[in-house]
Structure 1
Amino acid sequence: MTTQPPAPAPATAPPPPGTSFFHRYARLVSGRRSKWAVLVLWVLLISFGGSLAAKIGDVQNNEPATWLPSDAQSTRAVDIAEEHFDDKNVTDAVVVYARQGGLTAADQDKIAADRSLLTSHQAVAADIPSASAATDGKAAFLTVPLHTDHSDNSVLGDGVEALREAAEKDAPAGLDIKIAGEAGNIADFIDIYSGMDTTLLTVTLALVALFLLVIYRSPVLWLIPLLSVGLASQIASAVVYLLAKHAGLVVDGQSAYVLTILVLGVGTDYALLLIARYREELHRHQDRHEAMAYALARCLPAIAASAATVGLATLCLVFGSMNSTQGLGPVVAIGVAVTFLAMTSLLPAFLVILGRWAFWPFIPRYTAAQHGADTGKDHGIWRRVAAFVQARPRQIWIATALVLAALALGSTTLSTGQTQEEQFTQSVDSVEGQKLLARHFPAGSSSPADVYVPSQGREAALAALKGVPGVSQTGPPAVAGGWAHISVVLDAAPDTGAARETVERMRTALGDAEGEAASALVGGQTAVKLDTSDAQTKEEILLIPLILGVVLLMLIVLLRALVAPILLLLSVVLSYGAAVGTAALLFHALGYPRIDRGLLLFGFLFLVALGVDYTIFLMTRAREEVARRGHREGILTGLTVTGGVITSAGLVLAATFCVLAVIPTVASLQQGLLVAVGVLLDTFLVRSLLIPALALEVGPRIWRPGHPEAPSEQPVSPPAQPARLGG
């Protein structure tokens, strides 16, 4: 015989709101007159910030070398190059010319003409060296130094485009021309991210709109949260732009698109939670202003805890060593803060102004006779889930934990170290150019390593480098300001593991050399990749425990307990492992098995911070019900009444992160899939089965040292008319 959750008793009228900050704030934003002031304030903000939001692309910096820690060897090499060799704001592009049957005389004339013409081009920063020809006679390349500006992406992007147009103009038929090198690679990323903010915003808004239409089945209601999150996204982007422009906040393409996706996803979650509770209170209260005051006051602790957890967890990134990591934290925290303010002020004001008719055709009516007692008809699925959990809590939590652990084993199939070719989901010029170079030249020709050594140690440095396996050739030293610059061509392509191993051997050989050569620095594209990987490893060791500590502290403060937060944190970590394992299997299936090392920290941050959100929503409601019903009935009621809204929120958030797949880079695709998989696991396994089953198994001890449950002999009053999933 299946055990059923306890049938609800007639609901008593809720006590009037108290005088806490939450209640005062709720009454302020939903007041009869103050709601209009809130609306006017947000209209003024969007009228000022709307135009600024569109400029966020102007302050992005996507050049890898500028993101490294200041003590990295490749960063110090860049400093020397800029100070002594006039390499400041200069990035090399490589123009590759190839013909399968061999370069013709017309091809040779074209290459010579391009060198002569481009030397005087305004985009070119210095003289262009003579063309390098392949021994097989089928290819040649020009190394063209281009102007760049870290604060203005268009300088390099326009320079590469001008270079491409000049090289392709009047080219002999059949001559293959590609733009490779570091400048070509950066320009491809700039081109991909150009205008992507608008595309992401449009696609995500459309997806959220579709979900809201399905959830609410109302021609009006879906517009209210959609408009609120859309405005929040614009204000958040405007704030980030102003801080990047005038306060030195660092922003790259990743942090910009994460900001858009996160604001829309998290904002919709908060909206679903608030609207669901508002619907409940409309059944209890004849006055919609009073209903919103009750609803917002009861939702604010959970929403505030969620926003604080995500915000503080992401701010931990400022302790990272890489500038890209340090910049992502404040950007996300700003987005979450703006979203919290919008969803707890603009959204309530909108809802109260529009009144009950906004829910049409499923208008929640005041039911005075029963004070909106819960009939249970809107929670059939989740009552059955609660009954299932109640019947076998021990078997369920053990089985769920084992499933998650098994999924986590998939993470053993992951490998790091993406090559340039593996960074894009579509063909780009820089990748095709690198392939051409690799066929006809040493693969490292497109981006040689740069060795900077005190000038007195240049001969010893040359001698040390010539014996290093993987070094193809060394150029003659150029001397300036007491330093010598040696260009070193590697056998392997600059973005491969083999090239990074060669750089490590070069650094070891130079470090063991005598005299000034021991002070040599190895920089360049490959060295940047190597130093980035090392910095990411150090960041994981520092930041992962720090983020866990912040999340644990927030849970302790919210639940006023110790046992529950520890169990919840362990469940989130297990869920993260399962998400990584499941995503790894998906990556293999899609043909992108290798990841960038930064994905692990990115995924950990967002899955721990966002994954705990649904647990917060569940446990804060459960704690409220436990105080009225006792432990077992409170846990089951909390699961029942939050099931629909949290599931909806999880589906929306997972879908919004999947939108990252529209960006044609493997990193964005993998980030979106990882977070989406993790959110779905949290929604359907962790929050629905593991946590409630564990709470029943542990019993009232889970709330220790607090005691939220009411004495069992007191009458139990269920919540009135909990929100249903659909209208």
Structure 2
Amino acid sequence: MRHKVVPWGVLALWIIVLAVAGSFAGRLGDVQRDQTADYLPAGADSTQVAKLQDRLPGGEITGLVLVYHRDGGLSAADRATAARQVDAVTVPPGTSATKPAAELGAATDPKDFAAVRNGPGVTSKDNATLMYALSTAAPGKDDDAKKAFVEAVRDRAADADGMTVKVGGDGALAVDARGVFGSLDGTLMLATGLVVALLLILTYRSPVLWLVPLLVVGAGAVCARAAVYGLASWTGITVTSQSAGIMTVLVFGAGTDYALLLVARYRDELRRHPLPYDAMRTALRGCGPALLASSGTVVAGLVCLLAADLNNIRGLGPVGAVGVVCALVAMLTLLPAILVLLGRRVFWPLIPAYGSEPKRRRRELFAAMGGSAAKRPTAVLLTGVVLLGALALGAFNLPGVLKQEDSYTTEPDSTVAMSTLATAFPDRSSRPIEVMTPTGRADRTLADARAVDGVASAARGRSGGGWTEIAVTAKTAPESAGENATIERLRDRLPEAHVGGASAQALDLADTNTHDRLVVIPLVLGCVLLVLALLLRSLVAPLLLVAAVVLVWGAAMGIGGLVFGPVLGFAGLDPGLPLLTFVFLVALGVDYGIFLMHRTREETLRGAGPREAALTALRTTGGVIASAGIVLAATFAVLASLPLVMFVELGTIIAVGVLLDTFLVRTYLVTSANLLLGRLVWWPGRLSRRPSESAEPPPELVGTGR
């Protein structure tokens, strides 16, 4: 009776959970924050500027640049047209009047459109480009109002008689970025679901079985979204569109991996047990520790991100961890319940009959691969290490820091405008350095800022809450070495003020990412080693697995260096990418080492010698590890289809790393190392001693039915 009651009870409980979670999952967007400060270091000077600006009348400033261009030179008529368009969307500096919303063609409150010209128009040396810098604080904290303002300016500042007009600047770049991020959630969910469905169909070759893990991982995703909504509402952690999107990929990728391992073990047990319930119970007992350790390494690695100073990276830690936990719980409870209730027929047409033997085609493939490694383990290990080391050298060819205008694979208008400006004004800044100073010292700060070497101009801005905003224009191009030096001089000269703006943010991001790598990477390595040591009861095996995944990370980064710039033409690398890829590849890559080494340990406990245990583990787990690796790589590869360079780079490096880990490291390098080390791989545990040295047989397998 129990074999019927328990699965139905688990299913009923999940139906209740999903009914409750569904209403909260749809509200995750309500707690997502994509303001500038949410992607900046918590303690950085530029972050303080963004927060102080947010408190000023109108909130965070929206800076725009109108770029007028004609190949061959602008005519007098072009200049007149540009002047009329600028007059239509701005008021002169020092005026308090506002433009009526109707004049801009937008049904928004009139106070939302008080754009100010930051000086006269500037013409390039070749007379082909004319630039007007504008700013407004009127749209306030409402992203929809900011978007309406930028779109209204774009509608008003339109191409005329062959002269192109583009709207750029930080405000336009931010609006375009939010437009891309706003479409990520649905796109990722749909694309990832389709990819996983296709791979499950190819893996199981069953018209029904593929649907079960997909539905279960979908249930896990719903619970994860609801749980993250509750966590953000309760604790106030930073949840960005970026972290929500990565969580979706983690849930589908990790959850499907867990399903593949469990279903493969369950299929084997169905041949040894007459009842599906007993087969599932044995399968859970057999692979449950590996699944728990696998998820534990991922969760531990992600939780280490809480030590990062970067707001969005720190927030990704608990968000991703919640996703992995929800995926694991779904796979250990809901998936077994549904599979047991559906019985053997869910595997149709390849039904595993009680007492039958499995087809060994795929196992023979991995047996042959293991055999080739066993013939010359030293040569195989050295060749693999040299190959990965050589690939890692490509990391020296990685592009520099990614600039905001280079962040898209398909350029929106704002990045086209910034590219045009960079070409037309190579020695001039097109966006201000923003300084926040106590209002009582505003005049002194203004005078001191103008006297700083590298400053072209400085103008007083808004005031409120005891702070005044000053816009400083540098003499050099944005994010150049010269402008960075100017920012540092401003900070030295103005100790009472905070210096921010887009270029200062980029500078702070680079410094913070260096700090975060030095703090987080050792924490991740320590946590992963601890989890592995507890599972495998060894120190050597965890060190072997971690060294392997670190080598894979280096090789994947090296492949990125050979591809991103020379092949894909990317102009930069997101500064947070090395840390994120390290955490994901170490935490996720160790999964496959856990599956392999846990099975090796099982075989050793049953009395197999080191050679037999290593080759048997590879033969029995090689197929499922290969399937899991392909699924995980494919889910992260979905990120590469998005129009953001950062996601393309992230998805590519992780996908390549997972495939290297699956088909080279696990199959050849770890197996070869196992063969060479023998029982030493389990040192200092009981299995490191010869059978004659051991006391009573270890009890780990008691009650497994094996």
Distance 2:624 2:479 in 1: 46
Contiguous gaps of at least 5 residues in structure 1 = 1-26, 511-516, 720-727
> How far off is 1:244 after superposition?
2.7
Correspondent of 1:421 among 405, 422, 427: 405
C-alpha distance in structure 1 between counterparts of 2:17 and 2:466, whole Å: 54
1:161 aligns with 2:151: yes
Decide whether aligned partners of structure 1 residues 655 and 336 sit closer, same or farther in structure 2, where only a CA change above 3 A counts. Answer: same
Query: Match for 1:127 among 105, 114, 135?
Result: 114
Q: Which amino acid aligns with 1:475?
A: A
- TM-superposed deviation, 1:499: 2.9
1:285 and 2:245 matched: no
Question: Separation in 2 of the partners of 1:498 and 1:254?
Answer: 31
Q: How does 1:7-406 map to 2 (within 5 A)?
A: 31-82=3-54, 85-86=56-57, 88-98=59-69, 100-102=73-75, 103-115=78-90, 119-121=99-101, 122=108, 125=112, 127-130=114-117, 132-135=120-123, 139-141=130-132, 143-147=134-138, 153-168=143-158, 172-367=160-355, 372=356, 376-406=360-390
- 8 Å CA contact retained: 2:402, 2:571: no
Cα displacement (A) at 1:141: 2.5
> Which residue identity lines up with residue 415 of structure 2 in the other structure?
V
Match of 2:418 among 434, 440, 464: 434
Report sequence identity in percent. Answer: 41
Q: Is the 8 A contact 2:38 2:240 kept in 1?
A: no
Secondary structure in 2 matching 1:595 = coil
Q: What is the Cα deviation at residue 437 of structure 1?
A: 3.9
Distance in 1, Cα, partners of 2:145 & 2:467: 29
Question: What SS does the aligned partner of 2:372 have?
Answer: helix
| 2:68–2:165 Cα contact (<8 Å) kept | yes
Q: Distance in 2 between matches of 1:283 and 1:639?
A: 20
- 1:399: Cα distance to partner? 1.4
Q: Distance in 1 between matches of 2:348 and 2:686?
A: 41
How far is the alpha carbon of 1:424 from its aligned partner?
0.5
Moved more, 373-382 or 619-628: 373-382
Q: State the superposition RMSD in angstroms.
A: 2.9
Other structure's SS at 2:473 match? strand
Aligned residue number for residue 105 of structure 2: none
Quickly say closer, same or farther: Cα 1:501–1:62, change in 2 above 3 A.
farther
Give the 3 Å change call, closer, same or farther, for CA 210–548 of structure 1 in structure 2. Answer: same
**Structure 1 range deviating more: 114-123 or 196-205:** 114-123
| Counterparts of 1:497 and 1:663, CA distance in 2 | 31
Q: Give the alignment's TM-score, normalised by structure 2.
A: 0.89
Q: Which digits, 9 at most, give the CA deviation of each residue in 1:418-470, with x for residues without a partner?
A: 12232100011211222344456687654201223456766665565446554
Q: Could you report, residue by residue, the CA deviation over 1:103-162 in whole angstroms, capped at 9, with x for unpaired residues?
A: 243442332223369734346557332473124675342524145666x64343344334
Q: 1:42 to 1:64 in 2, by over 3 A?
A: same
Distance 2:313 2:163 in 1: 42
Q: CA deviation at 1:195?
A: 2.8
Q: Aligned pair in 2 of structure 1 residues 481, 703: CA closer, same or farther (>3 Å)?
A: closer
Maintained 8 Å contact 1:147/1:159:
no
Q: Please state if 1:642 is matched with 2:621.
A: yes
- Please give the alpha-carbon distance, in whole angstroms, between the structure 2 residues aligned to 1:173 and 1:58: 44
- Give the letter aligned to residue 283 of structure 1: R
What do the CA deviations read for 1:466-489 (whole angstroms, capped 9, x no partner)? 465543222257777765543211
**CA distances 1:488-541 after superposition (whole Å, capped 9, x unpaired):** 112344344543333123323x1xxxxxx4433312111111112111111111
Name stretches of at least 5 consecutive residues in structure 2 with no aligned partner. 92-96, 102-107, 702-706
Instruction: Pick which of 327-336 and 520-529 moved more.
Output: 520-529
Larger relative contact order (CA 8 Å, sep ≥ 6): 1
In the alignment, the residues of structure 1 paired with residue 584 and residue 335 of structure 2 have an alpha-carbon distance, to the nearest angstrom, of 25
Q: Is the 8 A contact 2:454 2:475 kept in 1?
A: yes
1:254 Cα deviation after fit? 1.4
Secondary structure at 1:452's aligned position in 2?
Answer: strand
Q: Secondary structure at the match of 2:63?
A: strand
Between the aligned partners of 2:473 and 2:237, the Cα distance in structure 1 is 36
User: Taking structure 1 as reference, are residues 463 and 162 closer, same or farther at Cα in structure 2, changes over 3 Å only?
Assistant: closer
Structure 1 stretch displaced more, 346-355 or 74-83: 74-83
Aligned to 2:704: none
Is contact 1:596–1:667 with CA below 8 Å preserved after alignment? yes
Change (3 A) 1:267 1:697: same
Partner of 2:610: 631
Residue of structure 2 equivalent to 1:597 = 575
Contact 2:270 2:276 in 1 (8 A): yes
Tell me which amino acid in the other structure corresponds to 1:433: A
Alignment of 1:508-657 (within 5 A): 508=492, 510=493, 517-588=494-565, 589-592=567-570, 594-628=572-606, 629-657=608-636
Alpha-carbon distance between aligned partners in 2 of 1:93 and 1:86, rounded to the nearest angstrom: 18
Which deviations, in whole Å up to 9, do the C-alpha atoms of 1:366-418 show, x marking residues without a partner? 11xxxx56785551101111211221111111111111111111111123311
Residue 458 of structure 1 contacts residue 477 of structure 1 at CA under 8 Å; is this kept in 2? no
Task: Report the more deviating stretch, 629-638 or 601-610.
Answer: 629-638
Q: Per the alignment, in what secondary structure is the counterpart of residue 207 of structure 2?
A: coil
Partner of 1:15: none
Length-normalised TM-score, structure 1? 0.86
